[in-house]
Amino acid sequence: MKRDYEEALRRSDVKAIVLTGAKGRFSGGFDINAFQNGPKNEKPGSLSIDFLTDIVEDAQKPSVAAIDGIALGGGLEVAMVCHARVSTSSAQLGLPELQLGIIPGMGGTQRLPRLVGLPKALEMMLMSKSIKGVDAHRFGLIDAIVSANELINTACFWALEIVEDKRPWFRSLHRTDKLPALEEVKKIINFARVQAQKQSANVQHPLVCIDVIDEGIISGPRAGLMKESLSAKMLEMSQTSKSLRHVFFAQRATSKIPNIINLGLTPRRIQKVAIVGGGLMGSGIATALIANNFLVILKEVNEHFLDAGISRIKANLQSFVKKGEMTKGDYEKKLSLLSGVLDYEQFRDADVVIEAVLEDVSLKQKIFADLDKYCHSNCIFATNTSTIDLQLIGQKTSCQNRIAGAHFFR
């Protein structure tokens, strides 16, 4: 890209540049495999400052991104360096780097808040949440929505109009119109820190991401870019990122296991699921299971917590009824699939147990040691932990690698 860009900037017959992707996809971002080789021995900021900012964004010729399909991670970061962005309404745009234990490292932490505003940018980055082109247009990330057929022509038209000063020549990094006053910034950033600590207490990258965004607003975007570059390199080498990158490829590998997926095996039938912990997660999981006709045993430590868990499940089901997604008759039927218990007796014939208690290693170890005694040897053990090593959780069971991680999203 650098070579082609430099050529386009040099040639007198090129007035403006349109960036697009192949086969209806703008870009899925940086090649995640390349992180395996460790950080390149290049000076911090050489890509995000020296190339993308000083050569592309500050060029004498405008660039317009023509986005269809996906613009994720580094792909969206490059698009944000452009002076305008045209996309299809169904394009998917996001910075999902935190899902990989890293932060956007090509200016995303600086440009996204300046384009969509600080609260939306924090939400998109911290939750690795992508948005559709049509919403991106509403938030200011995209300048025009067109059909896939018109994409390139419109982008070329916009690029030439920028050259002719018929449209503004925006440099995302220097925009301030979407940034709140400093007092407001402080409040938003502090709130984000508290939320990040609550939701991901055992990992550092969400807080690092917030610090980098903060630096860019308080000390200016170039300082922010430098901090982003240094922090991204540090996080790339973290154990968390290595593990999350492994998960990324492992999830995809499950659909390709030779001698498994092509043998016509049928999954074991699951009828009864036991859940340990009736908090927000446990009751949510129980709701999803009974709504899908599984028998569910919900265990809590005392009557008070058990009642609270069951009340949450009832409230969840009632909200389905209110929205017209479930009849009152179904509500009663689904609820009859649920039993609340205070011990493990009814776990003996469970097909699956899902543990959903606090993120406390010794508590989880004790629970799985108990489950090992009560459940049959074919019972699937799963934990809803977000951050604790599964091997560690299984340390006090007879078979340490028996425990699976199970996550639930809505």
Contact 193, 95 (CB under 8 A): no
How many residues line the site for ligand A1D88 (CB under 6 A)?
A: 18
The site map against ligand A1D88 for 250-289 (x = CB under 6 A) is --x-------------------------------------
Least distance (Å) from ligand A1D88 to the CB of residue 200? 17
Q: What is the rounded CA–CA span in Å between residue 198 and residue 185?
A: 20
Instruction: Please pick, from the candidates 62, 101, 105, 394, the single residue that binds ligand A1D88 as defined by CB under 6 A.
Output: 105
Q: What is the rounded CA–CA span in Å between residue 26 and residue 82?
A: 13
Residue 243 CB neighbours (<10 A): 16
Least distance (Å) from ligand A1D88 to the CB of residue 33? 5
Instruction: Please pick, from the candidates 8, 28, 186, 305, the single residue that binds ligand A1D88 as defined by CB under 6 A.
Output: 28
Instruction: Please pick, from the candidates 21, 45, 62, 96, the single residue that binds ligand A1D88 as defined by CB under 6 A.
Output: 96
* Residue whose token pair is 């922010």: 224
Residue 73 as a binder of ligand A1D88 (CB under 6 A): the answer is yes
Instruction: Please pick, from the candidates 10, 12, 33, 409, the single residue that binds ligand A1D88 as defined by CB under 6 A.
Output: 33
Residue 224 as a binder of ligand A1D88 (CB under 6 A): the answer is no
Residue number with CB closer to ligand A1D88 (18 or 125): 125
Least distance (Å) from ligand A1D88 to the CB of residue 294? 27
Least distance (Å) from ligand A1D88 to the CB of residue 41? 17
Residue 117 CB neighbours (<10 A): 18
Instruction: Please pick, from the candidates 21, 62, 74, 309, the single residue that binds ligand A1D88 as defined by CB under 6 A.
Output: 74
* Piece of the chain touching ligand A1D88 by CB under 6 A; list 102-110, 206-214, 323-331, 393-401: 102-110
Least distance (Å) from ligand A1D88 to the CB of residue 263? 20
Residue number with CB closer to ligand A1D88 (47 or 298): 47
Query: Catalytic site residues?
Result: 77, 97
Residue 39 as a binder of ligand A1D88 (CB under 6 A): the answer is no
Residue 164 as a binder of ligand A1D88 (CB under 6 A): the answer is no
Q: How far apart are the first and last CA of the chain?
A: 38
Residue 30 as a binder of ligand A1D88 (CB under 6 A): the answer is yes
Q: Structure tokens of 315?
A: 């409230």
Residue 29 as a binder of ligand A1D88 (CB under 6 A): the answer is yes
Residue number with CB closer to ligand A1D88 (96 or 309): 96
- Residue closest to ligand A1D88 when measured from CB atoms: 73
Q: What is the rounded CA–CA span in Å between residue 195 and residue 402?
A: 32
Q: What is the rounded CA–CA span in Å between residue 89 and residue 77?
A: 19
Report 181-210 residues binding ligand A1D88 (CB under 6 A).
Answer: none
Least distance (Å) from ligand A1D88 to the CB of residue 406? 20
Amino acid at 364: K
Interface residues with ligand A1D88 (CB under 6 A)? 28-33, 70, 72-74, 96-97, 100, 104-106, 249, 252
